[in-house]
Amino acid sequence: MGMTNLTIGPWNVLGGLILPSTQGNVFHVKPYSGSNDNDGKSPETAVKTLAKALSLATANQNDIVLLYAESNTAANTTDYQSATLNWNKDAVHLIGVNNGVGISSRSRVAFTSTYNTASNLFTLSANNCLIANVQFFAGVAGTNPTGCFVLSGDRNRIVKSHIAGLGHANNDIAGAFSLKISGDENLIEDCEIGVNTVTLGAAVNAQIYTDSSATRIHFRNCRVRTYTNHATNHIFLRMSAGTMDREVIFEDVLFLNPTYSGSTTMTQAAVIAAGGSPAGGVLLVGKTSVVGATDWNSTDAGNVFGMGTGAITAGSHGLAVAVTR
């Protein structure tokens, strides 16, 4: 298997990532101009789809898949999925080649417009992967799609990406999500989660869920966005009993519900149940705060902790109060 070296210099500009050489291969994907008849081994011979590139990659040798933005038009820079794309090869990394903007980066993965299946857009079931500079957008007119990104693998890092579920009013169904986590020891860093361009609240759902035992999960420097017309149905975070182990850390994370732009104030930012097996806690670290909610967890389950304040039992930690006009 040949070795492909990457020139480090340009990556200081393209998304702010510095990529070292790899013992594996680099595969190039251009959704607009690529062809799956190509070998994908150079920008000139790029393949068209991520599924094709993943089929060419070899697990556990740090192969890299580059997803190119070819214009500012979503249709020309998106790999459209007619079924859930399961990224299932360990240590195969996916990196968008674009300017690194946080919201709606131009290296995109999205549903085809006619998608109406009861499943999610993208699943990261592999371990030890880097996902960077990519927007995952789940927003179509269908009433069945369940969500955007399922993170079931372990020890992955998702950085500078936009995980955008519930992107159409019709997707406001029970249990829908932007991000659902069941894997362990994952880092979600400098990411945007959710959108605030769709009014939600018709069904009970959330931007982030934990599922199974999400152990030692770390969110760092992220923004979780939403917009709702209901005080309790749609919220930022839902963790039912037994779905987290040890801790889930939110470090310098902003939960943004723009009541200043007409969104309804949430009674609570999160539903975090106590007990179950396994059991865990939520740690609010650094400058983590919420806009547009009067409490973090109104059930006061005793498993939400603020650094320097201990267990949070009232709406008194990191809450931004809406201005009355």
Asked if residue 144 and residue 71 are part of one domain, the reply reads yes
Residue 290 is predicted with a pLDDT of: 93
Domain's final residue, options 157, 186, 205:
157
Say if 4 falls within a structural domain. no
Q: Count structural domains, the chain.
A: 2
Say if 274 falls within a structural domain. yes
Say if 266 falls within a structural domain. yes
Q: Is 43 helix (H, G, I), strand (E, B) or coil?
A: helix
CB within 8 Å of 7: residues ≥ 6 apart = none
Greatest pairwise CA separation for the chain in angstroms = 65
Report, as an integer, the average pLDDT of 189-217: 94
Asked if residue 145 and residue 66 are part of one domain, the reply reads yes
pLDDT tens column, 13-22: 344 566 657 8
Say if 8 falls within a structural domain. no
Sign of the alpha-carbon torsion through 200, 201, 203, 204: positive
Distances in Å between the alpha carbon of 133 and those of 59, 68, 152, 305? 21, 10, 20, 31
Closest to 134 in 3D by CA, of 78, 60, 212: 78
Say if 168 falls within a structural domain. no
Residue 318 is predicted with a pLDDT of: 54
pTM for this model (two decimals): 0.90
pLDDT over threshold 70, residue 6: no
pLDDT over threshold 70, residue 301: no
Say if 181 falls within a structural domain. no
Spatial distance between the Cα atoms of 76 and 152, rounded to a whole number of angstroms: 30
Say if 2 falls within a structural domain. no
Report, as an integer, the average pLDDT of 137-149: 97
Of all residues in the chain, the percent with pLDDT exceeding 70 is: 86
Report, as an integer, the average pLDDT of 147-166: 97
Residue 298 is predicted with a pLDDT of: 73
Closest to 84 in 3D by CA, of 56, 29, 125, 38: 125
pLDDT tens column, 65-93: 999 999 999 989 999 999 999 999 999 99
pLDDT tens column, 26-73: 999 999 999 999 999 999 999 999 999 999 999 999 999 999 999 999
Say if 164 falls within a structural domain. no
Q: Is 21 helix (H, G, I), strand (E, B) or coil?
A: coil
Per-residue DSSP letters for 144-185? ---EEEEE-SSS-EEES-EEE---SGGG--TT-EEEEE-SSS
Residue 126 is predicted with a pLDDT of: 98
pLDDT over threshold 60, residue 115: yes
What is the residue range of 114's domain?
25-157
Domain's final residue, options 157, 185, 213:
157
Of all residues in the chain, the percent with pLDDT exceeding 90 is: 73
pLDDT over threshold 50, residue 133: yes
